[in-house]
């Protein structure tokens, strides 16, 4: 189980508006994170993704902030997404950033760590024997770093493995 769990019964009065920020690019990264969405009630989760057809459909009933795309080696969009992360996280309403990447997760992990927010990164299921660029960039900022395959533990010494997140059924 992911170490960022919903508030226990009776704890809402302590953090009435604290959200979990779920950050993922569209496609498989978003699908993996959607598999975990039920860990948090709808009113305590807020999504960050790209305004693409799959995300528009899958997140139609969710609170979403649309990030700037593309992110792969695109410095202007990295800076824009860094500003977006600063605006969303500094409000003080975020208690955790959970991301499966890809590049959009990097600025949110950095800002989350600097703000003292719990940062959880889940390495892609597609990464079986070698780390992703996003994983390598986020690793120093993540409080909890999850890999889905034991072969990645040699690259990420602090990582934990819970098996695969994605269930295609």
pLDDT digits (tens, 9 = 90+) for 38-49: 888 888 999 999
3, two tokens:
């170490």
The phi-psi region of residue 4 (left if phi > 0; otherwise alpha if psi is between -120 and 50; otherwise beta) is: beta
Q: Which residues pair with 19 in a beta bridge?
A: 94
pLDDT of 71: 83
pLDDT of 169: 60
Each residue's pLDDT tens digit, 52-84: 999 999 999 999 999 999 887 889 999 999 999
Q: Which of 79, 91, 85, 100 is nearest to 33 (CA)?
A: 100
pLDDT of 12: 33
Topology annotation, domain 19-161: Rossmann fold (3.40.50)
The mean pLDDT values, 10 residues at a time, for the chain of 169 residues are 38 54 95 90 92 96 94 89 94 90 94 96 91 96 95 95 73
pTM of the model: 0.86
pLDDT of 164: 80
Task: Round to whole Å and give the CA distance between 112 and 97.
Answer: 7
């Amino acid at each position: 189980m992911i170490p960022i769990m919903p508030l226990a019964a009776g704890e809402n009065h302590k953090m009435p508006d604290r959200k979990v920020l779920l950050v993922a690019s569209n496609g498989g990264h978003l699908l993996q994170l959607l598999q975990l969405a039920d860990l948090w009630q709808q009113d305590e989760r807020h999504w960050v993704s790209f305004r693409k057809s799959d995300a528009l459909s899958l997140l139609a009933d969710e609170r979403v902030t649309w990030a700037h795309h593309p992110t792969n080696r695109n410095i202007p969009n990295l800076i824009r997404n860094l500003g977006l992360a600063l605006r969303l996280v500094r409000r003080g309403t975020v208690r955790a950033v959970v991301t499966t990447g890809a590049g959009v997760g990097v600025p949110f992990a950095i800002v989350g760590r600097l703000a003292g927010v719990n940062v959880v990164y889940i390495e892609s299921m597609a990464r079986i024997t070698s780390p992703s660029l996003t994983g390598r960039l986020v690793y120093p900022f993540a409080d909890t770093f999850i890999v889905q395959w034991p072969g990645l533990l040699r690259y990420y010494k602090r990582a934990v493995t819970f098996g695969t997140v994605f269930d295609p059924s």
